């Protein structure tokens, strides 16, 4: 992975985390245990600290950054969908940020809350725990049921499993020129493979 120091600050990646080789880490970045960082994610710790706490994931094409003196934090088991931008905010324990959402400076997303895809969370917005937040600007639309929070936990669990799978088997290869006979499929835990 492209990893850069700035002044005396060098990114830190726990050995049990997986950071895709195309992700970029700069400066004051801390990636905790069992985290997953996807392809082309950018974690820019050149002003404020960037933190991924244990078990969290930051998917493909996401950006994390901050103003000077502000941290940008994904707390334990936080789940950030493809293409999201987090700027100087805090994503609470087990919260979910939908694909292509933007969460701005000083905003806090409460534990077990969901931010809907393509939402814009204004600076300093204080989202309570276990609610659904959607729109531009984002607003709370309803409480989340316990089964919805459990669904999210399972999805995050799949990313934690993907972290281990990627550490064990992710490697650069040349593509095949044709589909091999009896090509296998991935099977997510608790799911049956599709029939061809």
Measured over the CA atoms of residue 52, residue 95, residue 109 and residue 138, the dihedral's sign is positive
The reply to whether the predicted model has a pTM over 0.85 is yes
Q: Per CATH, the architecture of 3-146 is what?
A: 3 Solenoid (2.160)
Q: Contact at 8 Å (CB) between 93 and 71?
A: no
Phi-psi region of 148 (alpha: psi -120 to 50; beta: other; left: phi over 0): alpha
Torsion over CA of 73, 77, 78 and 81, rounded to 10 degrees?
A: 130
Quick one: DSSP state of residue 6?
B
Residues of the chain with pLDDT under 70: 188-196
Considering only CA atoms, give the Rg of the chain: 17
CA distance linking residue 5 with residue 11, whole number of Å: 7
Q: What is the pLDDT of residues 144-169, one digit of tens each?
A: 999 999 999 999 999 999 999 999 99
Q: How far are the Cα atoms of 116, 133, 170 from residue 187, in angstroms, in the given order?
A: 27, 31, 17
Q: What is the pLDDT of residues 68-97, one digit of tens each?
A: 999 999 999 999 999 999 999 999 999 999
**β-pairing verdict for 131-135 and 138-143:** antiparallel
Task: Give the burial string for 90-115 (b: 16+ CB within 10 Å, else e).
Answer: bbbbbbbbbbbbbbbbbbbbbbbbbb
């Amino acid at each position: 992975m492209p990893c850069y120091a700035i002044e005396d600050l060098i990114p830190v990646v726990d050995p049990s985390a997986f950071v895709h080789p195309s992700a970029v880490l700069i400066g004051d970045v801390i990636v905790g245990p069992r985290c997953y960082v996807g392809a082309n994610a950018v974690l820019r710790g050149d002003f404020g600290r960037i933190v991924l706490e244990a078990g969290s994931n930051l998917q493909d094409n996401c950006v994390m950054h901050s103003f000077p003196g502000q941290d940008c934090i994904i707390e334990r088991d936080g789940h950030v969908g493809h293409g999201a931008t987090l700027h100087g905010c805090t994503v609470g324990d087990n919260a979910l940020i939908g694909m292509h959402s933007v969460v701005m400076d000083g905003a806090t997303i409460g534990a077990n809350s969901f931010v809907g895809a393509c939402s814009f969370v204004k600076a300093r917005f204080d989202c309570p725990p276990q609610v659904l937040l959607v729109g531009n600007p984002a607003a709370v639309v309803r409480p989340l049921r316990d089964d919805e929070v459990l669904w999210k936990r399972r999805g995050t669990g799949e990313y934690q499993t993907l972290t281990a799978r990627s550490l064990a088997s992710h490697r650069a290869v040349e593509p095949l020129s044709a589909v091999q006979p009896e090509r296998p499929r991935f099977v997510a835990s608790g799911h049956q493979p599709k029939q061809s």
